[in-house]
Structure 1
Amino acid sequence: MITIDLDSADPLFNQLVKQIKQAIENKQLRPSDALPSIRQLAADLDINAKTVAKAYRLLERDNVIESKGYRGTFVRADAEKNIQVDIKAWLNQTLADDIEKYRSAGLTDSEIRIAFNAALSNTSSCTPTN
């Protein structure tokens, strides 16, 4: 049911995420259905297992699937409502709102970038000064 387009500009892991969400939306996958193991799906699609693992991690983060250790990976009971969540759109909007607050406080884009990079690097050099 999953096909990969190697010529697509869309990354392979993203193609997997979209197709699994679509299969849930179309009722081809239902709550509690088991998904193939990472190794099995990678072998079936002739792609790297790390690509499948990344797609599964993103789906798990979005509460679409759940891993039950050695028992496997399954579609969550509430997966259908969670497939509509667009975490990238939320992140973009949240960042845009925060940047507007910083600009309103008088910070320059350069100061915002430096603070953002420092926060990503887990450094404390982005402490506000008066």
Structure 2
Amino acid sequence: MDITIDIDSPVPQFEQLIEQIKAAVTAGVLKAGDALPSIRQLANDLELNSKTVAKAYKLLERDSIIETKGYRGTYVHPRAKANCTINLQEWALRKLTETVAELRDAGVTDSEIRNALAGAISRHAWTK
């Protein structure tokens, strides 16, 4: 699998990496159980900061595209191909758009909505 990162692209590097791994899974280039390079190795190969690769891997793992098995490595998740069609960011945007519309219809101002969202995020962070 060839991964190329365009440093001049407006798309963040971690997103480019995520999209290319998802495309490889969807195309069948990467199959369930295939091993992926370590964060350090991939960062070195692509001349990226290891934190950039770690962020991409964390999001891919959250979406069950890859799975990390501790010191044994990182592998393509058994349900990766099916999970590539799910986009949590789009889902979250759709849900928040609906909620913002309801709040505006009720007369809540944008400033109040922003403050409430920040408060909800802060409150949830403390409960974890």
Cα distance per residue 1:27-67 (max 9 Å; x no partner): 11000000000000001111111000000001001110000
Tell me the distance in 1 between the aligned counterparts of 2:83 and 2:34.
16
> 1:13 maps to which residue?
14
Query: SS at 2:67's partner residue?
Result: strand
The TM-score with structure 1 as length reference comes to 0.89
> 2:76 maps to which residue?
75
- 1:100 Cα deviation from its structure 2 partner: 2.0
The TM-score with structure 2 as length reference comes to 0.90
Structure 2 unaligned blocks of 5 or more:
none
> 1:102 maps to which residue?
103
Query: SS at 1:32's partner residue?
Result: coil
Runs of 4+ in 1 over 3 A off after TM superposition: none
Tell me the distance in 2 between the aligned counterparts of 1:78 and 1:65.
9
In the alignment, is residue 65 of structure 1 matched against residue 66 of structure 2?
yes
Please give the root-mean-square deviation of Cα atoms over the aligned residues, in Å: 1.3
Sequence identity percentage: 53
Tell me the distance in 1 between the aligned counterparts of 2:8 and 2:41.
22
